[in-house]
Each structure stands twice: as C-alpha cells, then as structure tokens.
Structure 1
Amino acid sequence: METVTIVLALLLAVLVSGALGRLLPLPLPLIQIVIGVALALGPLPSTSLDPEIFFLVFLPPLLFLDGWRIPKRDLFRDGKTVLALALGLVALTVLGIGILIHWIIPSMPLAIAFALAAVLSPTDPIAVSSVAAQAPVPRRLMHILEGEALLNDATGLVCLRFAIAAALTGSFSLPEAATTFLWLAIAGLGIGAATTFLLTGIQELLRRRTGEDPGLQILLSLLTPFGAYLAAEHVHASGILAAVAAGIAMTYVEIQGRSLGATRVRRTAVWDSVALAANGAIFVLLGEQLPDVFRNAVKQADVQGAGWIVAWILVITAGLMAVRFVWVSVSLQFVLMRARSRGEKRDAMAWRLVAATTLAGVKGAITLAGILTLPLTLTDGSPFPARDLAILLAMGVILTSLLLASTVLPPLLRGLQLPPEPSHDAEEDAARAAARDDAVKAIEALQHRLVEEYEDASIAVEAGARAMDRYEGVKAATAERQAEATRFQQLAAMEKRLRLAGIEAERSALYRMRRSQVIDDVVLRRLVREVDLIEARLVA
C-alpha cells in the first residue's frame, strides 16, 4: 500500500506541476523539484529507490521515445556536429571534469569522480525546451541539441558503467575497456533494432490473421523498449543503446504505413502521457530525495556546514560550462574553415551562438537517473564511498544549470540567427500533388468497377464525384498557393476559423442532445470522436 501511495503522489505532483507551469514564469523542472522537496517535508513516507529498478523503469521508455521521434534527416544532415558533441565532448568532459572533481574533493575516490563526471556529461533537451519557452530555440539548433542528447545519453552512461566497475574492482584496463565498449555498442544497437523488427513482425502476422486491435498495438509499443533493454542486459550488452536503437528502428517500421490512423492517434496520445509522467516523476523524485541526501552528504564531505558543498557545485558547473564552451567554439571554427575551403561565404563565428549552445547543455532527467544507479554497497558489503555526496553534487549541478539557462539563455536566443533552413513548401506541394494523383487514380479505378457491378450507374458516378471533392480541393489549393500565396494564406486562415466555429457548435449540440436524453452515450462518444479528429487535423 505504501508503494501505491508513493506512485499516486508522484503522478499527482506531476499533474499539479503541469498546471503551475502554465501559471508561473518558471521552468517546469524547477517547479517539479520544489514540489518534490515539499513532499519530502510532508507527512507522506519517503522513497527509498533501488538503483537498478529506477534505471529499468525510467530510462528505456525515455530513450526509446527520443530515438523514435527525433527527425532522422536533420540528424544525418548535422551528423558531424552531433557526433562531435555526443562523443568527443563526452570523453573530454569525463576526463577533464573527473580530474577536477578529484582535485577539489580529495576524499572522493578517482573512480567515483569519473562516475560523477560521466553522468554530468549528458544533456536534457526537455529541460532546454522548458527553460527556452519564452524565447524558443531555433529549429536547427534544437535538432542538434536533440541529436546530441540522444547519443550522449548512451555514451555518458556507458562511461558511468566503466567507472562503477573500476570502483567495485579497484582496477581498470584500457584494452579490456575498449573491447567491452565495442561489444556493448555493437551488440546493444543490434539487439535493440532486432527487438523492434521482431516484435512488430509478429504483430503484423497477427494483424493479417485477426485484424488490427489498437489497444494491443499500443501496449506492444510500450513494452518494446523494456524488451530491448532487458534482452541486451541479459547478454551483458548496453541496454541503453538497445533502447535508443529500438526507437530509431520504430521510425522505419512506422513509415511502412501498416497501422490504422486511429491507432496512430491513440498511440501518440498514450506516449505523450508516458513521457510527461516519466520526466515529471524524475524531477519530483529529485526534489523528494534532496533533503535526506543533503544531510548525508554533509556528513560524508567531512566539512563544516554547507558552504564547501555549494562552492564545489559552482566550481563543477563552471568547469562543465568552460569545457563545453571551448569544445563548441573549436568545433564551429573547424566547420567554418571547411566551408570556406569549399568556396562558401561564411560570416565570422557568432559568439552568441557558442554561448547559447553552451548554456543549452542543461542537465536533467538522465543525469539524475544515472547517478541514482550508483551501487549502495561495494562487493565486500561495505557502503559505496561518497555515494550521497556524488548524488548531491549531481543534483546541485542540475539545479544550477537550470537556473543559469532559465535566466541567461532566453536573452541570448532572442534574435539569434542560424544558417537558413531549407524551405519545406515545395516538398510539401510535391507530396500533396503525388498523393492526390494516386488517390484520384484509385478512386477512378474503383468507380469503373462499381459502375459495372450496380444496375444504377448514376449512384457510382455521384459517389465518385463526392469522393473526388477533397482531392480537387487539394489540387486547387496547391495551385492557388503557388500563384497567390498571400491570398491563399488569408483564405485558409478564414476557412479554418469558420470550420472550427462550426465544429464547436456541432459538438455543443451533441452534448446538449445527450443532456436532453435524445441520444445515448454510445452515439455521443462515436460522434464526438469524429468531430475531435476533424478538429485535431485542422488545428495541426
């Protein structure tokens, strides 16, 4: 019963934080952390987290969803920049910040310092988008940050695994680590992709025999990241990379277009709720753990008061920012040099862009999830050294990076210009035209068969004309947009307002008829769902 109470309290806290996030001009993660502290100081029982369970419950779905939804073409276009941030910067961060932490805190073993640096290397795009809500991150920069977060989650947490192993065994072998890393990466990626293709293949066979059940498809998508993670961990590969690869593979399964539209709509809503609950719960748990961790960490630090801990947090945060700033500026300089060598005209390096990219490296859910997986004891049963101190320092860096980004990042982002994004208008028009042509051909072919099957051919002719209405509208709209873009935008906006007004009136009438007992609940739900889907398409 206590566990159920804690879970319900976490979900309620996420719900309350979402409402407060719309009312207060503060980043959502900070609000959730404050609510977590309030829960810890309240009458509810405190949470004692098992690191392995925490890792299994929260990380696979979040990494899976990141891999699934990240724009693949944009990721590959800026692949070199993303890899430089996700691999090179992570390695430099683990090495440099690990040495810095051990230097300023000699009581913390070097392996634990490297473990802390490893979990501080990943960034959190959700926290970035939250703190940048008042000054949205340019689309291309956001894609780069998302790609970086997708890959450095995996690389940072794999480095954490090596550091923990070194702390437990007291030894570290570079050749063995390199071999192990290759196995972790290759096997993890392969198992993750294979899990997705295998499960969806089985699902497709069942769908052909028994028809599509949206509920089963959604449940399978929810279980896929956990299956990939557990399968990889069973053979001592990287479950983290397996979850990422499973999500990327899900994109290529989805573009086959085999599932029904209603299934996709429902699945998107379910995954949005899962992501909201998982990310929110992690930050609430961060706040809930903060008071106890702080008290234990002060004892472990062997210092008087909290002043030294605050100083350590500020020094570590400054070190992370400095390493990131140097790496980003050097990487950007190389990009500009390569572009100029190809004869392209490029302006001088924009230091605002470098500073914004540096501050956008906000730490968040993955850092907390990783640091909480530090073992409770060593192999001999003794307490894991400096565990609470490492957790507190990680929490402090998360809070500090969030505060810095929420206050400094929005002014930096306002008016920031990046290289122009390619326009999607021509691509969209071509896709609409191609899809329309195929649809018209299919309708005409079926119409000819129906004319032959029915005695009254006029019915098939009229039905075909009605079915063509939508595609004739698409053709006219596309041509008009090419000829008169401004007028078409005004016309489309006006039509959208009129349609939305009609939909609102239609829905109000349906609810009024239900209140008057003219229709029953079954009819109401079916008709309201139809109206909601039309409205969702218009709003999107």
Structure 2
Amino acid sequence: MIHENLLLIVTLLMAVSMLSMLSEKLKVPYPIFLVLAGLVISFIPGIPVVTLNPDIVFLIFLPPILYAAAWNTSWREFWAARRTISMMAFGLVFFTSTAVALVMQLLIPDFPLALGFLLGGIISPPDAVAATSVLQTVKVPKRVVTILEGESLINDASSLIVFRFALAAALTGEFTFSNAATNFFVVAGVGVFIGLLFGFALFYIHKYLPTTASIDTSLTVISPYLMYIVAEYFHTSGVMAVVSGGLFLSYRSHEMFSYNTRIQAYSVWDVFIFILNGFVFILIGLQLPAIFTALQLYSLAELVFYGLVISVLVVLIRLMWVFSGMYLSCFFNKRERKLSWRNEFLIAWSGMRGVVSLASALAIPLTLEGGAHFPHRDLLLFITFVVILFTLVFQGLSLSPIIRWLKISEEENEDKEQEVEIRLRLADAALNHLQTNYVAELETIDAYGRIKDRYQRMSEIANQKLLKEDTEKAVPHFLPKYRRMLLELVNVRRRELYKLRNEKSYSDELLRRKEHELDLEEARLNE
C-alpha cells in the first residue's frame, strides 16, 4: 500500500534533488548519475528491496514524459526529418529485434526465437530523456537533436508493439507475420487517431471555454493520461496517442494559450518532468538486487557474457544502420540534405536505453497460460539491465569527449541571423503601428516618443548586425554593458523591495506581485 511506502517515496524524491545538484557540480548528466547512485544505494545494508511495477511506469511515468517531449518538438522540423525519423523509429527497431533474436538463439541453443524477438523489442528503443539530457550540456546541430527526439517519440510505440506480438507468440506458441503486420498498422493508426481526436477537443476547450491559467495548466497535466488510458482501453497504442496529441497541441499552442497560462504551464511542467525523470532513473539503479537474487540457473560469468554480447550487438547494429540508412535515404531522395559523417556518428552513438526497456522487461508475466514458469524470464531481465547500464553509462559518459574530439559544434550562424531578422521584423511592426495609429501622441507626449525611440534603436541595431556595418564597434561593446546596467537596476529595485517588506507597512500580495514582475524582467534579460 502507498502509505507503507510513503517514507521511502519521499526519501527518494529528496535524494533525486540532492543527487541532481551533485551531478551539476560534477558535470555529469543527471540520468547517468542517478542510475549509478541508485545502484550504489541498493547495496547499502538495511535498504529495502525496491521493485518497480511496470503498470505504474507505463501509466504514471510514460504519458507525461512522452507528452512533454512531443510538446518541445518542433512539428515543422519533425516533418522535415520524417524519413530519417521513420527509418530509425521503425526500421531500426525491427532490425534490432531480429538480430537480437538470432544471436540469442546462437548463444543459448534452447532459447526460443519468440523470446529472442521479445528481448529485441524490449531493448531496441533508446530512451526519450537520456540522450537529450546529455546533449543539453554540449552544443550540437539542431537537426541532430530533432532526429534523436523524433526517434525517441516514435520508437517507444514500435518497440512496445513488437513486445506485445512477441509476448503473445511466447505465451500461445502461435505467430503469423501477416496478421502481426496488419495489427501493427491498426494499433498504431488507431492510436494516432485517438490522440488527434483528443487534441482537437482539448484545443477547442482551451481556446473557446472560459478557462483560467490554473485550469489550462491542470488540463495539460491530465491530457496525456486521458489519451493514453483511452487508447489502451481500446487495445491500441497509448504511446502513439500521446505523441500525436502532444505534437498537434504544441503546434497550435500559440492560438489557445494566454501569456500567463504559458508562463505558469511551462514552470509547472519543468518541475513535474524533472521529478518524474529523476525518480525513474534512480529506481532503475535500485532494481539490480531484486533482479540478481532471482537468477540461480546461470553463473555470474555467463550472465555478464550474455549481457555484454547483447549490449555490444545493439551498439554495432545502430552504428551500421545509421550510416547505411542515411546514405540510402539521401540516395533515393536527392533533395534531402546529407549530414556529415561526424553528425551521423553522434546520432548512432546516442542510443542510450532507459525506463521503457526496463518496464517492458518487468511486464513479462511470471507464468505461461498453462501455469508453467515463464522460460528465461530472469535472464531477460538481467540482460535488459546490463544493456541499460552499458549504453547509459558507457555511451552517455563518452558522448561529451567524442563531441569535442570530433569537433562537432552547433550551427550557430543561421540561428543568430534568424534571431536578428525576427527582432528586426518585430521592431519594425511596432514602429509602423505607432506611426500609423498614434501620430498626434508621438508629437505631443514624451512617453510615446520614448517608446518610438526605443523601437527605432532596436531596428537600427538589428540592421547593423544583418548588414555587418560597424558591428564590432556599435554592438558588442554597447549591448553587453547596457544589459548589465538593466540587470543592476533590477537588483537595486529588488533590494528596495526587501526593505519595503521589512517595514511591514505594505500588502504582502502587492509585494509578491512586484517581485514576480522583477523575476520576469530578470529572466528576459538573462535569455
């Protein structure tokens, strides 16, 4: 019961926050650090054995994590890279599952092919959080991040569908490829339909009903659970429902949310996803004792050998698939811009496994339909854990050195130019509006004139950047000092606000409101 484990849950949540601070200090991505920390904590004497319920992972953790990832993915960039993403999310999953099945049958002669596909479906999808959280600490091209994020959104669905069919084959002993292929497209397609249906409904609720920022934020938290549960109720893909609904709502978010809803929702979701991700990764590390104690039929050397062979196999398969697939994709589509081999290697090396793989492995039933013990279940769990640990720690920790060694950097020039163009367009639009609608006020009221001068300066500075005329003299020496001055004024006003609070003569509500205004201003200046 939850009340019996409440102290453990709260303690783990506190540990997530403390360990995340330590990971920031040590410059280690927090998913990797939390997995290792959970592994160390699990061997402390007296620590209770923590078992992860797969139903809880799929129901509580997976929908919001996928929804947040979909929300932060650009639909335009996602669609532009759709061929590459589809090749990774579907083709690579099926190829990995097949290769793992064949190799496991070679390693263990009595290992059924259906169980091999089951293991392949479990360990084929890279984690939606691990790669992007590692890449946040370094600068890489946006197209690389888009492909990795898009792949992680879709491959969870394809791998879970492979897992379902392989599990059904293992339980019943029957498998028909044509039926499986047909069911795959039905399950995925209906899942997408359900997600879009909820997306349309929620769009009109947010846009046309009299909601508040708190109601809108609450609905965004409830939405992924609703999409997932309904899709799973009809035996379709809950993952595809959440991803498709999240992408649709993200694309239309500017039409349905007010500024205060966006500010509140983004803050809530940042905290919510941080807690969920941290909790899941530390739970992964805590699973080893429960998995290891159940293994009695194999020696430690055999277990480590099987785990390392499969780990190396999935890494090599991904490397081979990415390089060959990218070449074929560009060969058949001449208009597609080819990535450099360095960026292709980065995509291939970022295949870190995580919580979906472990939850899938734990979802394997204990017995077959006739009541017999499920064959090799403990071995499947152990190999899954080794693959997660190997890819997450070895590949995750080596990503930053590899990026520096290959001299991969963010393509900043295009983004900077676009940012300046946007700034110029916004400033010119504001100037045109002022000069069209407030002609008399601009001539007679100083406040209007100062606003006009402000936007004129913004437009001139943006033009100087675009034309590169006296840029080094006019912009770099002026703007940083100007920004520092504005930040100093924010801090001066903040100190005065503290004095007003200590005087105890003013309303706390008004003081909090003014403090929030200063927070927003400081956040804008620090962007």
TM, length-normalised to structure 2: 0.89
Q: In structure 1, what is the Cα distance between the partners aligned to 2:166 and 2:102?
A: 13
2:470 to 448, 468, 484: 484
1:472 to 456, 463, 466: 456
Q: In structure 1, what is the Cα distance between the partners aligned to 2:38 and 2:16?
A: 10
Any idea what the Cα deviations from partners look like across 1:417-444, whole Å, max 9, x if unmatched? 4896771344434433443444445556
The match for 1:358 is: 348
Q: In structure 2, what is the Cα distance between the partners aligned to 1:25 and 1:106?
A: 44
2:504 to 517, 523, 536: 517
Structure 1 residues without counterparts, runs of 5 or longer:
452-456
Shift of 1:315: 0.2
Kindly indicate whether the alpha-carbon contact (under 8 Å) linking 2:365 and 2:374 is maintained by their aligned counterparts in 1: yes
1:530 to 508, 517, 525: 517
Cα 1:95–1:463 change in 2 (3 A) is same
The match for 1:160 is: 163
Structure 2 residues without counterparts, runs of 5 or longer:
none
Structure 2 residue identity aligned to 1:146: E
Cα 1:407–1:267 change in 2 (3 A) is closer
Kindly indicate whether the alpha-carbon contact (under 8 Å) linking 2:49 and 2:289 is maintained by their aligned counterparts in 1: no
2:152 to 149, 153, 156: 149
The match for 2:306 is: 312
The match for 1:295 is: 293
RMSD: 2.9
Cα 1:287–1:343 change in 2 (3 A) is closer
Identity %, equivalent residues: 31
- Report the secondary structure of 2:521's partner residue: helix
Kindly indicate whether the alpha-carbon contact (under 8 Å) linking 1:58 and 1:369 is maintained by their aligned counterparts in 2: no
Structure 1 residue identity aligned to 2:65: L
Q: In structure 1, what is the Cα distance between the partners aligned to 2:368 and 2:505?
A: 69
Q: In structure 2, what is the Cα distance between the partners aligned to 1:138 and 1:365?
A: 26
Q: In structure 2, what is the Cα distance between the partners aligned to 1:221 and 1:367?
A: 26
Structure 2 residue identity aligned to 1:244: V
TM, length-normalised to structure 1: 0.87
Cα 1:515–1:110 change in 2 (3 A) is farther
Shift of 1:196: 1.8
The match for 2:85 is: 82
The match for 2:401 is: 411
Shift of 1:468: 3.7
The match for 2:219 is: 220
Cα 1:422–1:394 change in 2 (3 A) is same
Q: In structure 1, what is the Cα distance between the partners aligned to 2:115 and 2:290?
A: 20
Q: In structure 1, what is the Cα distance between the partners aligned to 2:504 and 2:45?
A: 46
- Report the secondary structure of 1:2's partner residue: coil
> Does structure 1 residue 506 correspond to structure 2 residue 493?
yes
Shift of 1:295: 1.1
> Does structure 1 residue 334 correspond to structure 2 residue 328?
yes
Q: In structure 1, what is the Cα distance between the partners aligned to 2:494 and 2:512?
A: 11
- Report the secondary structure of 2:209's partner residue: helix
The match for 1:454 is: none
Q: In structure 1, what is the Cα distance between the partners aligned to 2:38 and 2:336?
A: 54
> Does structure 1 residue 195 correspond to structure 2 residue 198?
yes
The match for 2:116 is: 113
- Report the secondary structure of 2:504's partner residue: coil
The match for 1:140 is: 143
Kindly indicate whether the alpha-carbon contact (under 8 Å) linking 2:140 and 2:409 is maintained by their aligned counterparts in 1: no
Shift of 1:71: 2.4
Q: In structure 1, what is the Cα distance between the partners aligned to 2:236 and 2:492?
A: 56
> Does structure 1 residue 493 correspond to structure 2 residue 480?
yes
The match for 2:35 is: 33
Cα 1:107–1:32 change in 2 (3 A) is farther
> Does structure 1 residue 265 correspond to structure 2 residue 252?
no
Q: In structure 1, what is the Cα distance between the partners aligned to 2:344 and 2:276?
A: 31
Kindly indicate whether the alpha-carbon contact (under 8 Å) linking 1:372 and 1:391 is maintained by their aligned counterparts in 2: yes
Q: In structure 1, what is the Cα distance between the partners aligned to 2:200 and 2:453?
A: 39
